[in-house]
Chains A and B, each alone.
Chain A
Amino acid sequence: MSLDAKIPQGPLAEKWSKHKFDLKLVNPANKRKYDIIVVGTGLAGASAAASLAELGYNVKSFCFQDSPRRAHSIAAQGGINAAKNYQNDGDSVYRLFYDTIKGGDYRAREGNVYRLAEVSVNIIDQCVAQGVPFAREYGGLLDNRSFGGSQVSRTFYARGQTGQQLLLGAYSALNRQIHAGKVKMYTRTEMLDVVVVDGHAKGIVTRNMITGAIETHAGHAVLLCTGGYSNVFYLSTNAIGSNVTAAWRAHKRGAYFSNPCYTQIHPTCIPVSGDHQSKLTLMSESLRNDGRVWAPKTAAIAEQLRKGTLKADQVKEDDRDYFLERKYPAFGNLVPRDVASRNAKEMVEDGRGVGASGFAVFLDFADAIKRLGEETVKAKYGNLFDMYIQITDENPYKQPMRIYPAVHYTMGGLWVDYNLSTNVPGLYALGECNFSDHGANRLGASALMQGLSDGYFVIPYTLGDYLAKIGPKKVDESHPAFAKTKQDVLDHVNKLLALKGTKTAEHYHRDLGHIMWEYCGMARDEEGLKKAKGLIQALKVDFWKNAMVVGENEEVNASLERAGRVADFIELGELMVDDALMRRESCGGHFRIESQTEGGEAQRDDENFAFVAAWEFKGENQPEELHKEELVFESVHLSQRNYA
């Protein structure tokens, strides 16, 4: 199958406008003849479901949580970028586009990223109109702050809860359509498979998580808005329930999976405190506006800090190394996430890590408190400081925070073209679930932007084109493909329930996480990746032999849910390792030790790797087939990223 990204011809700034005009429309009276399935109710899913219902389509919306408002977008803290240039500091659509392409280390499509920057301004207007209470200045106008990888202030925010407020805005729009009868909402319902008929996606199979009922749903198109796969690492900043199952099952039905090795390790998370830990908590990148990252200059001082014989605030100014400010004077503490993370790791490897475990550096607010006063710092970051206190029992107003990188976001995902369509016609992927806009590294405050861009402003246009072409005639659930797919799901569930071994799914998940973090985390090399592949294959065999799943299908069964998700994560883990092995270059979050500059920065190999990897599933335990979509750069010049 050819990989046509369907990027419109013409000048960059005119591609989207021209494309919108070229897309076919479904007339208002005909829209009600189409049924659309939207899986996931985060920013992408809720905004898509609401917008499509407003247009007149019949929408079925699904989430595994007890309410659409719980989707993990809610936990996004820092903000959302938009090229409004309200600060008069030189921002523009082109600059946001350029920063995002560069931040992604030139591994994203120009066309997609430019469109993202272009519609960013509409997103803010839309959210304000919904009553999203963004932060404002005393004059009543919207306030901005700065985020990593940019030299302008273009990030809109609602204290440290921007994701919550944007999601509740999208949730309210969704609620309005549920009330109007245009969206039928299915909560506590997990998607377990895609139904493909004659090469087109025509529905899904779900499991009711209360009754266990395996059900089928038919539609003219299926939109996967099911988030990322950070939980393949077991410990991440994602919610416990965040999983790859919907995307992975779609992959096994033919959808290509792109750039799975592109994972983002966020530099400022609360360090791991012990083996019991179930998740990691992010401290927003916005903190780097005022917080200064440092490590002690010598291993000897670090040793005293680790033992607790010396306190952080007692370390003399001369004994501190503000390593980001030192190495990257132009961007300072606001370098992109991948750069900040690798530098923290270097400090630890240099023996200069702090905290009881030694796996941490400091994020210090003493200067900010001196400059702005504790009250101002509290008003800006109070909820984050509170979270830190709850988890660590330490007071960041008095002592610097201890932070360390943690898995936070996955740039890889289902391959989609410019229309957000996967290579399976009728199957779309939006938000973090797709791979399209962030290249090899996502800049801060861009995930919310992409989720809402895809849902509010892209899919309502591009989906219509497909629907107009296929016409309103529906393949309903009586088609044998539905019964067949349902049986496959039942077989899978029964296979899981038959596991009566000695280790819980949680146990396997933890083991998988260790392998991924060790060999496919912040730094990767050939030898380690090969080792990881063997370990994952052995883990898979062990899982299907020795895992323990309790209970039955016909009830609430967390053990079954977890086992199904872990089984999919194990398979995904192997593909991530394959992808990381194949990509013998460093780029953004993918750091191959063999490929670095003299200064230790990621060294790309544009000649051989300026392409999107798209993997095709070829059957159980078969090697996947690699397809390549060459990246064409017409507007930007590829250069070594330099934040100094």
Chain B
Amino acid sequence: MNGNMNLTLKVWRQKNSQTAGKFVTYKAENISPDMSFLEMLDVVNESLTLKGDEPINFDHDCREGICGMCSLYINGHPHGPKQAITTCQLHMRTFHDGQTITIEPWRASAFPIVKDLAVDRSAFDRIQQAGGYVSVNTGVSTDGNAIPIPKVIADEAFNSATCIGCGACVAACKNASAMLFVSAKITQLGLLPQGQPERYRRVQSMVAQMDEEGFGSCTNTGACEAECPKEIKLTNIARMNNDFFSAKLFREEEIHEESHGG
């Protein structure tokens, strides 16, 4: 087909978390510009498999930018060179014939390598488990319209809630900080009336878990915001810090009471 490309890939291969990894060079030939980046890797993997070699392992699932499973550090950028998309939404028309593309996994000690380009992001789940919820059991009988929520507040909460938990913010950060990810959930629930009763307790427990997982601190560089496929704003971090200090300074007793009363 006209306009198809030949590319050189430098791909990080690593059998598992215990063994050392290395870059391996592959040729990706006759690649259509209409292919997605992951479809290009499918083509490479198909030929590796037919040769009896192990295909390049990478995480992926929905292939439409919403499940958050795909990752990849492409030519120095999480999810590749384009803004506001995930790797699965990146198309090969972004690249040109003859280009060399370097593909690495997320690099952060809190995200150990699973195999090749796939990493273990279960630390994110544990942070959510520490408090990323409103404690309501199934079966509430309050009508959904009982508490009106101003549209601007609902919209702002939604903007934070669009985080897909992919980990690009951590990968982009020189400190491997997870503050953008954590603050997105804290902001969503902190803005909504439903989230108020546990607001200060939540921020403390989620931040404590974040620290325990070994993520770095935020130094306000803003790389996370720049690379976030869902354009989660840095102001989320400001809100989280605000709630965190407020909890520390003025609400220790309340939090203490709650955890005993729980």
Contacts and interface: CB of A to CB of B under 8 A. Distances in A.
Contacts of A134: 144, 154
A173 interface: yes
Nearest to B262: A180
B114 A210 contact: yes
Interface stretch (A138-146, A289-297, A360-368, A537-545): A138-146
B201 interface: no
A67 B132 CA distance: 15
B216 interface: no
Interface in B223-238: none
A129 interface: yes
Interface residues of B, number: 79
B140 A129 contact: yes
Contacts of B38: 278
The bracket for how many chain A residues form the interface is 35 or more
B89 A387 contact: yes
Given A131-B188, A161-B162, A176 B133 contact: yes
Interface in B55-88: 55, 57, 59-69, 84-85
Contact of B142 (A125, A136, A240, A559): A125
Contacts of B151: 136-138, 140
Interface string A62-92: 0001111111101100000000101000000
A133 B144 contact: no
Interface string B126-152: 001111111111111111110111110
A625 interface: no
Given A66-B122, A126-B139, A273-B34, A556 B114 contact: yes
B42 to A, nearest CB: 6
Interface in A257-296: 273-274, 276-279, 281-282
Interface stretch (B46-54, B95-103, B171-179, B245-253): B46-54
A463 interface: no
B121 A506 contact: no
A34 interface: no
A381 to B, nearest CB: 15
A125 B129 contact: no
Contact of B39 (A75, A239, A241, A276): A276
A393 interface: yes
Contact of B62 (A74, A122, A159, A171): A74
A489 B34 CA distance: 40
Given A161-B66, A273-B34, A129 B130 contact: no
Contacts of A256: none
B120 A140 contact: no
B138 A72 contact: no
Contacts of B137: 51, 54
Contacts of B46: 504, 506-507
Interface string B23-46: 000000000101110110011001
A457 B139 CA distance: 8
A165 B158 contact: yes
Contacts of B148: 136, 139-141
Given A129-B134, A240-B61, A171 B122 contact: no
Given A136-B151, A278-B38, A75 B144 contact: no
A138 B148 CA distance: 10
Interface stretch (A98-106, A547-555, A569-577, A591-599): A547-555
A142 B144 contact: yes
Contacts of A179: 129-131
Contacts of B125: 67-69, 175, 185, 187
B31 to A, nearest CB: 8
A558 interface: yes
A93 interface: no
A239 B69 CA distance: 11
A75 B62 contact: yes
Nearest to A507: B46
Nearest to A176: B133
B11 interface: no
B15 interface: yes
A502 interface: yes
A390 interface: yes
A124 B46 CA distance: 45
B248 to A, nearest CB: 22
B80 to A, nearest CB: 12
Residue from A125, A134, A188, A276 with most neighbouring chain B CB atoms (10 Å)? A276
Contact of B134 (A124, A131, A140, A551): A131
Contacts of B32: 274, 276
Contacts of A69: 67-68, 125, 128, 165
B124 interface: yes
Contacts of A390: 65, 85, 89, 91
Contacts of A487: none
A54 B52 CA distance: 48
B158 A84 contact: no
A172 interface: yes
Given A68-B125, A239-B63, A273-B34, A86 B43 contact: no
Given A239-B67, A558-B57, A393 B91 contact: yes
B108 interface: no
B194 A130 contact: yes
A173 B138 contact: yes
Contacts of A203: none
A155 interface: no
A51 B136 CA distance: 10
Query: Nearest 7 pairs between A and B by C-beta?
Result: A140-B148, A172-B133, A133-B158, A556-B115, A128-B144, A51-B138, A239-B61
12 contacts: A50-B138, A65-B67, A69-B68, A75-B62, A126-B136, A126-B139, A172-B134, A240-B63, A390-B89, A503-B50, A555-B115, A556-B57
Interface of B: 1, 15-16, 32, 34-36, 38-39, 42-43, 46, 49-50, 52-55, 57, 59-69, 84-85, 89, 91, 93, 114-115, 118, 120-122, 124-125, 128-145, 147-151, 154-155, 157-158, 161-162, 164-165, 188-189, 192, 194-195
Given A161-B66, A173-B133, A173-B138, 7 more contacts: A54-B138, A65-B61, A126-B139, A139-B148, A175-B129, A279-B63, A555-B15
